[in-house]
Homo-oligomer: A and B are copies of this chain.
């Protein structure tokens, strides 16, 4: 693991996710750019001192050289620190599992893409919401034509934790609102999740977008609210709302897709249920693993809620399959999804800078 030392958030999530299905063991890390914090964090996590590295470069080099070296690395640093380690490990022949968004700048993203292409190592981007069983069922319904020809996609991702200018000692808030480290605000941190999710489920490419970005909190240097219109393949139209200042919203990711034959509605905060309506018939409540859905990718029976960590774990589980050759990783977000997200971020910024002009691919 690179990043994820004391005080970090997403590193801990990755660690739990990697343990749930018992396919990974954490044995090495460059957990912090601060050597003392790196060592202390490693000790806490049971990493042997000799495999706690002061830098990712060193870690890539030495782990590649070890006979019992790591199979894969998780990169859980702030966005601007993805490219460096990703490229180093890819080039060392170590598979990469990287947090989203892909990078802080398009240049960094392109360099990662180049390394993925050149090395042939696996690259998994943890758009974790694609791991929820009902999201996969939704994707299947769309692919099978149960919704007919898609018309409308409504996605929103609303939070309120950045309602007020954050305290300077909140590490999470600090880097996420720093343009240099994050690259963008709400559109990068959560907007890319929303965009990835709609693409994953609908199977449609977005051809153009019009965006209005906003910073509501005084002094904020990145967007904290975004209103985005989409034009998609096959004439479908979409709206995306991403906000970190919507008071009362915790982690309100919600997806709704409507076609000429059916519609679906899903909300992340209660992810074990989804509604599905065939036009002219009663709305159905589909449950994770329940009647009419597949138990694939679930661990416990319907009615026993799985949540955020299990969805995340499914990506780790399938990454293990991919690495071990027991699965093809066909549902795993990778470099293409990463580049797609970078286009989204860039197009939002460009469109918003041009008073909402449509920006095409």
Contact = CB atoms under 8 A, between A and B. Distances in A.
Interface in A258-278: 258-265, 268-272, 275-278
B356 A160 contact: no
Interface in A198-246: 210, 212, 214, 216, 225, 227, 229, 231, 235, 237-239, 241, 243, 245-246
How many identical chains are in the complex? 4
Interface stretch (A11-19, A71-79, A87-95, A332-340): A11-19
B237 A225 contact: yes
B227 A245 contact: no
B260 A277 contact: no
Given A164-B260, A245-B260, A246-B263, 17 more contacts: A154-B156, A154-B241, A163-B279, A210-B356, A212-B231, A225-B237, A227-B239, A247-B258, A247-B259, A247-B278, A248-B262, A248-B265, A251-B301, A268-B303, A272-B307, A280-B291, A305-B305
A48 interface: no
A290 interface: yes
Contacts of A310: 307, 309
Q: Which of A13, A156, A159, A301 has the most CB of B within 10 A?
A: A301
Contact of A251 (B237, B241, B247, B303): B303
Nearest to A210: B356
Contacts of A322: none
A283 interface: yes
A289 to B, nearest CB: 9
A302 to B, nearest CB: 5
A225 B151 contact: yes
Contacts of A290: 250, 282
B305 A271 contact: yes
A250 B310 CA distance: 19
A17 B92 CA distance: 34
Interface residue range, chain A: 35 or more
B19 A22 contact: yes
Nearest to A279: B247
Interface string A277-312: 111111111110011100000011111111111100
Q: Which of A263, A285, A291, A303 has the most CB of B within 10 A?
A: A303
A355 interface: yes
A30 to B, nearest CB: 20
A81 interface: no
Contacts of A271: 305
B356 A247 contact: no
Contacts of A303: 159, 249-252, 268-269
Contacts of A272: 269-270, 307
B279 A160 contact: yes
A306 B304 contact: no
Nearest to A159: B303
A178 to B, nearest CB: 20
A304 B250 CA distance: 8
Nearest to A156: B154
Nearest to A172: B301
Interface string A158-177: 01110110000000000000
Given A13-B300, A284-B284, A225 B277 contact: no
B225 A249 contact: no
A239 B237 contact: no
